[in-house]
Amino acid sequence: MGSSASHSEDLNFRLKWLMFARVLFTTLLLGSTAIVQLGETPSPLAPPLLVLYGLIIGIFILSFFYSVMLTRVREVLWLAYLQISIDSIVVSLIIFVTGNFSSIFSFLYLVVIIYSSILLYRKGSMVIALLCSVQYALLMVLEYKGWIVPFAVEEGLTALQFPISQILYKILITALACFAVAFLSSFLAEQTRRTRKELWAMEDQVKRVEKMAVIGEMAAGLAHEIKNPLASLAGSIQILKDGIQLDADHARLMQIVLREADRLSSLVNNFLLFARPPAGKSEVIDLGRAIVETVELFEKDDACREKITIQKKIADGICIQMDPIHFRQVLWNLLLNAAEAIDGSGSIDINLFSAKGRRACMEISDTGCGISAEVIGSIFDPFFTTKHSGTGLGLSIVHSILESYDSHLEVRSRQGTGTTFAVHLKRTDPPTRA
């Protein structure tokens, strides 16, 4: 839906800020470090300075490469992983250049982990924390074994002068710090992501409501103007059909006219129901009983073929405040939508259970063709349909009715495996018996 597109745009935006911050960091921190090292080193071409120069130039080149790739790739998630992984390697090089065991720059691992949690959330930050811990452990062990000789080391501060227990302790403390920061920062990032998702969902809902309001204004006059003449026309044709003798061809044509008149009448009625749902009489209804009654009627309808089985898993004692006719309309439309999505044999599962916050959830799942990611964001739009027949108003009517009862509808689907519609309803207490 729109939220996935918003998430991709948001990640793209944050990656741009990361690239800007990386260049700024390189200029300030590494540049100032190079200046300090230059004052303490007799030659401007000393090995530590050459490595720092190389790091600065390399980061600038990488930043240019990242900016080019960002404009050309569609899935930016792998680019985020690539950038942050390379950043952790750069931090390891900085630590090596500035003393390795005695370097004060190991805290930069924590900086990398913090912004990885902002971009990649918990899973990504834990992966980066593990990567940083492994790199730091390798640096310490390699220096302790004498396989690498770091730059800018003061005498007596190399890993060779310390016992293995001290080396392991430093590795353990750094690893614990990495994972602790990953957990805490990702916790805050996950909360921010949930809030952002709710805002995106609210934005989508507001846009949908605005669109429906415009169509509702049109429907108010237009549908009433069409409905009465259409009913008169259909009735007159029926009287003509019953009152005169017709040959086979004329009878067939008359039947086509009546069928199309019925279809237009159904379209107008659905349009009116969508644009102006009747106020109805709200009362406490037992959801389980209402579901069973509606399913029994639906199983006798032509839409529910013999090859479609309906299975119910219903929790007892769940009640809501709603007009029974409105609830039956909601469930009927969802069952009809599920049945039409099944080509041949299949099943429809109805699951009713209690949810948090005095809510009830009714899930209708089918084994149909599913909904593609390209169209799933438009299924609640009026007149939108991917079927050869139908008005495209069924789900719009469901959405409109549920909104009037402080309820909402969610959809989960994967093309080729089926679809689940989740109706979230406001619960109420069962009626007390006198």
Is the pLDDT higher at 219 or at 418? 418
Please identify, among 275, 292, 326, the residue that sits at the C-terminal boundary of a domain.
275
Distance (Å) of CA 191 to CA 116, 194, 433: 15, 5, 44
Average per-residue pLDDT in the chain? Answer: 83
Give the domain range for residue 13: 2-205
Q: Give the pLDDT band (50/70/90) at residue 263.
A: confident
Q: Are residues 91 and 146 in the same domain?
A: yes
Q: Give the pLDDT band (50/70/90) at residue 1.
A: very low
pLDDT at 156 over 60: no
Distance (Å) of CA 432 to CA 31, 284, 322, 351, 428: 76, 11, 17, 26, 12
Amino acid 257: pLDDT: 82
pLDDT cut 90: percent of the chain above it: 29
Residue 418 main-chain phi, psi, to 5 deg: 125, 180
Residue 70's nearest CA partner among 137, 20, 110 is: 20
Structure token digits, residue 68:
């080019």
Please identify, among 178, 205, 232, the residue that sits at the C-terminal boundary of a domain.
205
Q: Are residues 218 and 190 in the same domain?
A: no
If 0-12 CB within 10 Å is exposed, 13-18 middle and 19+ buried, where does residue 79 land?
middle
Question: What's the CATH number where 318 sits?
Answer: 3.30.565.10
Q: Torsion over CA of 170, 176, 177 and 183, rounded to 10 degrees?
A: 170
Q: Are residues 200 and 226 in the same domain?
A: no
Amino acid 40: pLDDT: 64
Q: Are residues 359 and 232 in the same domain?
A: no
Tell me the per-residue pLDDT of 276-290, one tens digit each, with 9 for 90 and over: 666 678 899 999 999
Q: Are residues 196 and 267 in the same domain?
A: no
Is the pLDDT higher at 89 or at 33? 89
Q: Are residues 234 and 338 in the same domain?
A: no
- Least confident window among 160-169, 223-232, 406-415: 223-232
Position 434 in a domain = no
Amino acid 2: pLDDT: 46
Tell me the per-residue pLDDT of 9-53, one tens digit each, with 9 for 90 and over: 777 888 888 888 888 887 787 677 667 666 666 666 667 667 777
pLDDT cut 70: percent of the chain above it: 85
Q: Give the pLDDT band (50/70/90) at residue 295.
A: very high
Position 433 in a domain = no
| Contact (CB, 8 A) for 61 and 3 | no
The predicted model scores a pTM of 0.50
Q: Are residues 313 and 198 in the same domain?
A: no
What is the mean predicted confidence (pLDDT) over 340-345?
A: 85
Amino acid (1-letter code) at residue 242:
D
| Contact (CB, 8 A) for 399 and 409 | yes
Amino acid (1-letter code) at residue 266:
S
Amino acid 423: pLDDT: 94
Q: Give the pLDDT band (50/70/90) at residue 185.
A: very high
Q: Are residues 249 and 289 in the same domain?
A: no
Residue 411's nearest CA partner among 367, 369, 374, 365 is: 365
Q: Are residues 196 and 270 in the same domain?
A: no
Please identify, among 149, 182, 205, the residue that sits at the C-terminal boundary of a domain.
205
Position 345 in a domain = yes
Is the pLDDT higher at 85 or at 59? 85
Q: Are residues 176 and 294 in the same domain?
A: no
Q: Are residues 409 and 262 in the same domain?
A: no
Position 265 in a domain = yes
Rg (CA), the chain: 33
Total domains in the fold of the chain: 3
